[in-house]
């Protein structure tokens, strides 16, 4: 079982952090979850790494899951990148790291790379991008005809502003039955386990209204293709479902085009919750990145010796 702890960030926000595996492991994997979700969405991949000698870290982002409340001004990707830097300093101060990010988590990785380039270059040995984007809302059309996109985007932005002002309250369980069909359509593809939809709804119900609405502006505006292009030849994979209504295949394709050597995989029938819908394929891609990262680290050590 993972060890659970509360970590206080420099601005006073408390994060729920889970860790497992040996502290002196040859590599550490850090899982970062998506917007309105929590660390549990990576449960298949976390379970697959148990007993492999890999150190695993996962945490709930500020305003999400079991982590603490936050100021609305800190609901930015820049702040999430700074949070990741603090978590790494506290829980994985040494050794190579593989970062695995879903949706908002992938964008957090890019922000960390942009804001902490020296630390990123020194520590990060591999990347797994799952259902994410480096271009904000550029390709998001919600699975609907493109002519409707401007109207829907305006409505979403207006609604996000209202939710952000509701503060730390969570979506009330009374409205859960009405939200579930919407979440199912928006986040999942053709096939999924009912338990995974239930877990996703549980995560959604733990996110504060401030987090649900507050991050929208930063998420929509981020542009980090140039950041990716500057990272060099790092083992990486970009995975996406062809039924993803939030970060469609064009998002993963642009990541793969920008980041040299990235393995691109598009999964037919899968939606935005790819690590739940295609757990074995996502785990296999992660293992491949891990193997490449460890191999490169050993080769680098041999050359240095």
Q: Would residue 262 be called left, alpha or beta, if left means φ above 0 and alpha means ψ between -120 and 50 degrees?
A: beta
Provide the 3-class DSSP secondary structure of residue 102.
strand
Q: Which residues neighbour 10 within 8 Å (Cβ) at sequence distance 6 or greater?
A: 82, 86
Q: Under 8 Å CB-to-CB from 302, ≥6 apart: which residues?
A: none
| pTM over cut 0.85 | yes
Ordered by start, the domain boundaries in the chain are 3-304
pLDDT beyond 90 at 193: yes
CA distance 123 to 231: 12
Cα 4 from chain centre: 20
Q: What is the distance between the alpha carbons of residues 131 and 271, in angstroms, rounded to a whole number?
A: 8
The span from the CA of 27 to the CA of 267, in Å, is 28
Q: Are 30 and 97 in contact (CB under 8 A)?
A: yes
Report the pLDDT value the prediction gives residue 216, as an integer from 0 to 100: 84
211-248: pLDDT as tens digits: 888 888 888 889 999 999 999 889 999 999 999 999 99
pLDDT value, residue 305 = 36
Q: Please report which confidence band the pLDDT of residue 73 belongs to, taking 50, 70 and 90 as the band edges.
A: confident
Closest CA to 70 of 162, 201, 207: 207
Q: Kindly write down the DSSP assignment for every residue of 205-239, as one continuous string.
A: HHS-HHHHHHTHHHHHH---HHHHHTS-S--EEEE
Instruction: State the pLDDT at residue 60.
Output: 97
CATH of domain 3-304: 3.40.50.1820
Instruction: DSSP letter for 175, please.
Output: G
Residue 160 has pLDDT above 70, yes or no: no
The pLDDT, as a whole number, for residue 145 is 56
Which among 109, 132, 90 is positioned nearest to 31, based on CA atoms?
109
């Amino acid at each position: 079982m993972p060890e659970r702890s509360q970590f206080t960030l420099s601005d006073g926000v408390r994060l729920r952090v889970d860790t497992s595996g040996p502290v002196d492991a040859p590599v550490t994997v850090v899982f970062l979850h998506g917007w309105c979700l929590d660390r549990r969405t990576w449960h298949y991949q976390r379970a697959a790494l148990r007993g492999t000698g890999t150190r695993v870290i996962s945490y709930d982002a500020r305003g999400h899951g079991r982590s603490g409340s936050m100021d609305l001004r800190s609901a930015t990707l820049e702040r999430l990148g700074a949070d990741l830097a603090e978590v790494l300093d506290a829980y994985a101060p040494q050794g190579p790291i593989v970062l695995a990010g879903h949706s908002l988590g992938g964008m957090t990785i890019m922000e960390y790379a942009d804001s902490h380039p020296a630390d990123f270059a020194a520590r990060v040995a591999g990347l797994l991008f799952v259902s994410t984007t480096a271009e904000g809302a550029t390709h998001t059309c919600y699975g609907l005809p493109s002519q409707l996109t401007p109207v829907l985007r305006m409505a979403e932005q207006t609604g996000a502003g209202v939710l952000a002002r509701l503060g730390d309250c969570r979506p009330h369980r009374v409205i859960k039955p009405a939200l579930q069909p919407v979440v199912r359509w928006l986040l999942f593809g053709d096939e999924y386990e009912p338990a995974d939809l239930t877990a996703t709804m549980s995560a959604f119900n733990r996110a504060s209204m401030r987090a649900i609405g507050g991050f929208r502006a930063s998420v929509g505006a981020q542009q980090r293709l140039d950041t990716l292009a500057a990272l060099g030849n790092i083992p990486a994979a970009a995975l996406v479902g062809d039924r993803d209504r939030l970060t469609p295949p064009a998002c993963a394709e642009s990541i793969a085009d920008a980041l040299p050597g990235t393995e691109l995989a598009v999964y037919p029938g899968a939606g935005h919750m790819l690590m739940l819908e295609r757990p074995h394929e996502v785990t296999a891609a992660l293992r491949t990145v891990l193997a490449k990262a460890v191999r490169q680290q050993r080769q680098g050590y041999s050359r240095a010796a």
